[in-house]
Amino acid sequence: MSNLIIRGLALLISTAAVAFAIVKTMDNSHAADQSFNKTDVVDKTDIVTNGNPLLAKWEGPYGGVPPFDRVQVSYFKPALEAAMTEQLAEVEKIANNPAPPTFENTIVAMEEAGATFDRVGTIYGVWGATMNGPEFQLVQREMAPKLAQFGDQITQNEALFKRIEAVYNSPAKAKLNAEQQRLVWLDYTNFVRSGARLGPEAKARLSQINQELAGLFTKFSQNVLIEENDQFLLLKSEDELAGLPQSLRDAAASAAATKKQTGWVIMNTRSAIDPFLTYSDRRELREKAWRMFINRGDNGDEHDNNATITQILQLRAERAKLLGYKTHAHWRLENAMAKTPERAMELMEAVWKPAVARVHEEVRDMQALADKEGAKLTIEPWDYRYYMEKVRKDKYDLDQNEVKPYLQLEKLREGIFWVAGELFNFQFTPVTNVPVAHPDIRVWEVTDKTSKRHIGLWYFDPYARAGKRSGAWMNAYRSQERVNGEVTTIVSNNANFIKGKPGEPLLISWDDATTMFHEFGHALHGLNSNVTYPSLSGTAVARDYVEFPSQLMEHWLSTPEVLQRFALHYQTGKPIPQTLVDRIKKSATFNQGFATVEYLSAALVDMKMHLAGDRKIDPDAFERETLAELGMPKEIVMRHRTPQFLHVFGSDGYSAGYYSYLWSDVLTADAFGAFVEGKGPYDKSVAERLRKNIFSVGNTKDPAEAYRAFRGRDPKVDALMKKRGFSPS
Ligand SMILES: [Zn+2]
C-alpha cells in the first residue's frame, strides 16, 4: 500500500497541462446515478462471479503487464469496491496482529498490502485520463467520495496508527538501515498529517471535509471541461484566417468538421488558442479568442466556478486548523523541500521583480515595432504573442516555422532514447506482445545496453483523441521495488499531437520538443529507480522536487549531439544548419519576461489564497487586488486564472504548490552547471553522479541531502537568473 493511498492515480503534469483530478466525484442527486446503479447490480454479480479481469494479477511477459485489452467501464466499480474491501481487511489484520509491533509486521506489511487496489487504481487512472467518456464519468462521480472515505478509513485506523507510532518511537529503529528509517518516518508523519492523532469527532469532521472536497473538485473540473468543449470561435471566411499558417488552417478545418460547422473552428483550449493569438492578423478576432479563453469558468452562468472556489478555500482552511496548522499552505509545504510557505514566497519574490522589469522591456520592443509598422495601437494582452513573434523575427531573425521542418516527432523520440543511452546506458527495443488501450499506443522494452538486464517498459501515447485530457504527462503503471523480489518499472509518456496525414512525418514545434524531453525525464526518473520499498520508489518524491529531473532533461534537446543526429529535415534528411542553431541559442532568453510573469503571477495568487486563512474569499476580487498589489503588468494575464486553475482546484495535488516548477528549476539550472563545469552534457562521471544521487534514489533520501551529494553544495539561485536572462534585484 502506498502512502498516497491511491498511488496509481497520481500523474505528473507540466505547467501547461490541464491537471484535472483523476479522482472525480459526485453530484449528489441525479437520475443518472440511479439508472447507473440499477444496471450495475446485474453487472456486479455477473462480473464478480465470473472473474473481473481488473482484479486478476497482471499476466504475460515482463513480470506481468496491465490487461488494457480486457477493460470494460462496467468492471471499474465492482473492481474498485472489491479491491478496497480487500485492502481494508489486510489493514485490519495488520492493526490487530497480537504480536508486538515491529518494522516487519507493521511497516513492511503495509507496503505489501493493497496490491490489488494499486493495480485496479492504476487502470482506473489511465482510463480517466486517456479513455474517458460519459459512462466513465458516472463511475467517477460515484466513486470519488468513496475513494476519499477509503483513504480516511486507513489513516484514521487507531490500532494501526498506534503500531506505526510504536515502531517510530522504538529504540530498535536505530538499527534499521537509512531507507527503512526514512520509510518509518514517512509513514508516521503521513498518518499524523492525515489526522491520525485527532479525537473521534474531529476525525469524523475531517472525513466529511475530504468527501465534500472530492465533490467540489469534480464539479470544478467538469465546469472547465464543459466550457473548453462547448465554446469555440467560428471563422466563416478566408479573410478571417489572415496570418494563420497552413497547419493551423488544417487543424481549424478538421475541428469544424468535428463540431459540424461550416468554416473553421478555433477550440477553446490552450493548444488551439495560443497559436491563434500568435499568428492571427485580425486583432478583433484575437481579442475575442483571448476573452473566451481567459473567462473559462467565470461567465456567471451554471458553469461558473467562483462559488466553488470560495467553498474549497473555506474547507481547506478548516481542515488545516483541525489538523493543527496555521493555514492550508503551511500544511501542504511541511513535507515539501521548501518546508515553509515563507521560503517559497522568498524565492518567488526574488524572481518576480527582475521578471517584471524584463516584461517592460519586451513591451517596449513590441510597441516600437507596432509603431514602426504604423499599427496605431497600444499593446494589449491579446497582442502579446502576436508581436512577440514579430520581434523574434526582427531581433533574432528566427521564424518558428523555419525550425519546425527539422523537428520530426519520431526522430526526436529516437533522440531521447539516444540521450538515455549516453547518460544511463539504457537501450529501447519496440515490443508488440503487450496489450494497449488504443491502437495508437506503442510500447518499448528498456534494457541495460551492456548487461542486457531487463529494466522496464515505456508506453508512448502521443496523439490527441476524444476522451483524452489535454496537455502532456507521465504516469507510472508499476513502480520499481523489491520487497518480495525484484519488480520492474512500467511507465508511460502521454501527449496530444494531432496525427499527421498517413505516411507523412509529424512535425512539432520547439516548445513541444522541449516538453517531450521533459516528460521523458519523468520516465527516466521512474526507470532508474533502485529502491526496496514501493512507497519510496521513483517519482514518489516531494512535489517541489519532482520537476527537477524532468526539467533537467530539457537541456539535452539543444545539445549539438542531438540536433546533428536527430533534428533532420523531413524532406532532405539534412541536419538543422548551424546558423539556425546559433540563432535559436542566441534567442534562448527571449520572452522569458512573459513566460516567467505569466507563470509566477499564478503561483503567487495560489500561495496567497492559501495563506489567507479562513476568511471568506471572493476569488475575482482577490485575484484583482493581489495582482494590483504585485504590480502585475497590464499586458499579461495569469497563466491559469483562478476560475480555471485545475492544478489548484481540480484536486489538492498542486494546491499551494504551483510554485514547485520554479523551485525545481533552481535545482535544474544549477545542476546542469555541473555538466558545463565538467566535460559537457555527456560527461560520464557527472551522469553517474546524477544517477546515483538523484535519478535512482526515489524518496529514500532527504532531497536537500541528495542534491548536496550530487553537487557538493547547496543549489544557488544565480544559475536560474542567468538561464532566464534576468539580473538579480
Ligand atoms: Zn513535469
What confidence tens digit (pLDDT) does each residue in 296-326 have?
999 999 999 999 999 999 999 999 999 999 9
The one-letter amino acid at 535: S
**Contact between residue 268 and residue 228 where contact means Cβ atoms under 8 Å apart:** yes
Whole-number mean pLDDT of the chain? 90
- Is residue 612 classed as helix, strand or coil in its secondary structure? coil
C-alpha cell at 258: 468535428
Is the pLDDT confidence value at 26 over 50? Answer: no
CA dist 720 and 641 (Å) reads: 25
Q: What is the pLDDT of residue 60?
A: 94
Q: How far is C-alpha 271 from the chain's CA centre? A: 16
- Whats the size of the chain, residue-wise? 729
Average pLDDT over residues 229-253: 93
Among residues 454, 521, 557, the alpha carbon closest in space to that of 694 is found at 521
Query: Is 519 an active-site residue?
Result: yes
For residue 75, the CA-to-ligand 1 centroid distance in Å is 31
**Over the Cα atoms of the chain, what is R_g?**
25
Angle at 316 (CA atoms; ends 314, 317), nearest 5 degrees: 65
For residue 553, the CA-to-ligand 1 centroid distance in Å is 10
Q: What is the pLDDT of residue 222?
A: 81
CA dist 693 and 495 (Å) reads: 29
Which residues, other chains included, contact 136 with Cβ-Cβ below 8 Å and sequence gap of 6+? 73, 76, 127, 128, 467
Is the pLDDT confidence value at 44 over 80? Answer: no
- Is residue 463 classed as helix, strand or coil in its secondary structure? strand
For residue 523, the CA-to-ligand 1 centroid distance in Å is 10
For residue 520, the CA-to-ligand 1 centroid distance in Å is 9
Q: Helices 592-611 and 619-630 meet at what angle, rounded to 10?
A: 130
Q: How many CB atoms lie within 10 A of CB 175?
A: 10
Q: Helices 270-279 and 246-258 meet at what angle, rounded to 10?
A: 140
Q: Helices 178-193 and 158-169 meet at what angle, rounded to 10?
A: 140
For residue 428, the CA-to-ligand 1 centroid distance in Å is 22
Of residues 22 and 729, more confidence is placed in: 729
Torsion of CA 644, 615, 199, 110, to 10 degrees: 30
**Contact between residue 642 and residue 223 where contact means Cβ atoms under 8 Å apart:** no
Buried-exposed string 523-551: b where 16+ CB fall within 10 A, e elsewhere: bbbbbbbebbbbbbbbbbbbbbbbbbbbb
For residue 660, the CA-to-ligand 1 centroid distance in Å is 10
Per-residue pLDDT band at 729 (split at 50, 70, 90): low
C-alpha cell at 110: 503495509
The pTM of this model reads 0.90
Is the pLDDT confidence value at 23 over 50? Answer: no
What confidence tens digit (pLDDT) does each residue in 121-145 have?
999 999 988 998 889 988 988 998 9
Q: What is the pLDDT of residue 81?
A: 97
**Contact between residue 644 and residue 296 where contact means Cβ atoms under 8 Å apart:** yes
For residue 10, the CA-to-ligand 1 centroid distance in Å is 12
CA dist 679 and 670 (Å) reads: 16
For residue 16, the CA-to-ligand 1 centroid distance in Å is 10
Q: What is the pLDDT of residue 30?
A: 25
Is the pLDDT confidence value at 445 over 50? Answer: yes
Is the pLDDT confidence value at 709 over 80? Answer: yes
Which residues, other chains included, contact 374 with Cβ-Cβ below 8 Å and sequence gap of 6+? none
Q: How far is C-alpha 330 from the chain's CA centre? A: 22
Is the pLDDT confidence value at 17 over 60? Answer: no
Buried-exposed string 118-141: b where 16+ CB fall within 10 A, e elsewhere: bbbbbbbbbbbbbbbeeebbbbbb
CA dist 244 and 277 (Å) reads: 10
List the single range of 75-79, 506-510, 552-556, 663-667 with lowest mean pLDDT.
Answer: 506-510
For residue 474, the CA-to-ligand 1 centroid distance in Å is 8
For residue 98, the CA-to-ligand 1 centroid distance in Å is 44
- Which position among 227, 519, 598, 635 bears the catalytic label? 519
Sheet holding 473-478, edge to edge: 12-13, 473-478, 489-497, 454-463, 442-448, 426-431
Buried-exposed string 476-512: b where 16+ CB fall within 10 A, e elsewhere: bbbbbbeeeeebbbbbbbbbbbeebeeeebbbbebeb
For residue 546, the CA-to-ligand 1 centroid distance in Å is 7
Among residues 259, 290, 295, 291, the alpha carbon closest in space to that of 275 is found at 290
For residue 250, the CA-to-ligand 1 centroid distance in Å is 30
C-alpha cell at 592: 522569458
What confidence tens digit (pLDDT) does each residue in 590-629 have?
999 999 999 999 999 999 999 999 899 999 999 999 999 9
Among residues 370, 405, 408, the alpha carbon closest in space to that of 389 is found at 370
**Contact between residue 381 and residue 399 where contact means Cβ atoms under 8 Å apart:** no
